[in-house]
């Protein structure tokens, strides 16, 4: 058996998970760099088991159909939208969820904490100030103080509610909108429910924490960005396609809004020549929100457990298309 572990950027998969028993019966190959789509088929041709972390690798119908040796795909958790489940089922390929141990840490805190850090870095211009200081400059662009400002949360789920708690601690006024927002939930969280237009018009900072689905792609587009204050900021640590990328680039280029902080993009990894990277009013990070040592350890422990169980013939949770949540 040959097992591929994809996109282990931090080179921690083998040290975080226990692969010792697996390696007695199978060859385990870890890929620390992202494999471009046009090279993925060639790279994965020999493998029987492919392990992937969230949405880091796209296993499309075209790719799956060109992998004759593939028997099993193991994913870190249910929040995956990059696998063609129908194509896998047609080929008899099992899609298994990582068998993480009980009481493993949730990445809710990790994501929310990082989002708040990204928000602060964006509105206080911290990355550019650090860069300027290292180049011998001192004073920099004035930043935004959060106290008394309005934070608009798009999507008041578990992440949005945690961000609302942080905002209240910073003495911010918090409003929220989603297509199915429960007013009672919002009020219990100390958040005022508003309509979508009001949120974008009145917010000093808009933070997106929305479930990605066919109806939410492009949720924030030209119209929403045009409604924002010229002094307002947009933060997105949820999913790139929720925001119309071209509309955002245009809004940032023309200073229609003050700036943005992004941890997610339409294409990941982001190409080095991407137009977003040339914008001075953008703070961009490489999808780091959930990447903490406890979270990554639980992922790779679970992936190794799932591979070992599969090799032992044990029954494991199988993911179906309808069960794959977009977060």
* 37 has catalytic annotation: no
> Six-digit token pair at 267?
């294409």
Omega before 269 within 30 of 0, i.e. cis: yes
**Residue 60 DSSP one-character state:** -
User: Catalytic: which of 56, 124, 209, 239?
Assistant: 239
The three state secondary structure string of 70-138 is: CCEEEECCCCCCCECHHHHHHCCCEEEECCCCCCCCCCHHHHHHHHHHHHHHHHCCHHHHHHHHHCCCC
How many whole angstroms separate alpha carbon 47 and alpha carbon 49?
Answer: 6
143 to 56, 123, 128, 129, 260: CA distances (angstroms): 34, 6, 11, 10, 13
DSSP labels, 2-45? EEEE---TTS-HHHHS--HHHHTTSEEEE--SPPPHHHHHHHHT
User: Catalytic: which of 56, 124, 209, 287?
Assistant: 287
How many whole angstroms separate alpha carbon 113 and alpha carbon 163?
Answer: 8
Query: What H or E segment, with its residue span, contains residue 216?
Result: none
* 287 has catalytic annotation: yes
* 268 has catalytic annotation: yes
User: Catalytic: which of 94, 113, 222, 268?
Assistant: 268
Query: What H or E segment, with its residue span, contains residue 262?
Result: strand 259-262
Tokens 């075209």 belong to residue: 62
227-231-237-242 Cα dihedral, nearest 10 degrees: 20
Radius of gyration of the chain (CA): 21
Q: What are the catalytic residues?
A: 239, 268, 287
């Amino acid at each position: 058996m040959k097992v591929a572990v994809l996109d282990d950027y931090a080179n921690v998969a083998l040290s975080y998970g226990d692969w010792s028993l697996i390696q007695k019966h199978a060859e385990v190959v870890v890929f620390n760099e992202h494999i471009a789509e046009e090279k993925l088929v060639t790279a994965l041709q020999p493998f029987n088991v492919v392990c992937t972390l969230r949405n880091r690798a796209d296993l499309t119908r075209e790719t799956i159909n060109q992998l004759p040796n593939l028997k099993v795909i193991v994913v870190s958790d249910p929040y995956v939208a990059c696998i063609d489940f129908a194509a896998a089922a047609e080929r008899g390929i099992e899609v298994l969820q990582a068998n993480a141990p009980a009481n493993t840490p949730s990445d809710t805190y990790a994501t929310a904490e990082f989002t708040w850090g990204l928000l602060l870095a964006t509105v206080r211009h911290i990355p550019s100030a650090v860069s300027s200081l290292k180049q011998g400059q001192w004073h920099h662009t004035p930043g935004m103080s959060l106290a008394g400002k309005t934070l608009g949360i798009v999507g008041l789920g578990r992440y949005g509610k945690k961000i609302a708690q942080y905002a209240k601690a910073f003495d911010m006024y918090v409003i929220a909108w989603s297509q199915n927002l429960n007013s009672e939930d919002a009020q219990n969280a100390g958040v005022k429910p508003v309509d979508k237009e009001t949120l974008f018009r009145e917010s000093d900072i808009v933070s997106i924490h929305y479930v990605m689905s066919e109806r939410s792609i492009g949720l924030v587009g030209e119209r929403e960005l045009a409604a924002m204050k010229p002094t307002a900021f947009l933060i997105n640590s949820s999913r790139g396609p929720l925001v119309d990328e071209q509309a955002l680039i245009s809004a940032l280029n023309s200073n229609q809004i003050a700036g943005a902080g992004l941890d997610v993009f339409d294409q990941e990894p982001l190409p080095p020549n991407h137009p977003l990277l040339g914008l001075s009013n953008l703070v961009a990070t490489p999808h780091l929100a959930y990447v903490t040592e406890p979270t990554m350890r639980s992922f790779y422990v679970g992936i190794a457990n799932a591979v070992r169980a599969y090799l032992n013939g044990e029954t494991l949770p199988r993911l179906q298309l309808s069960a794959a949540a977009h977060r």
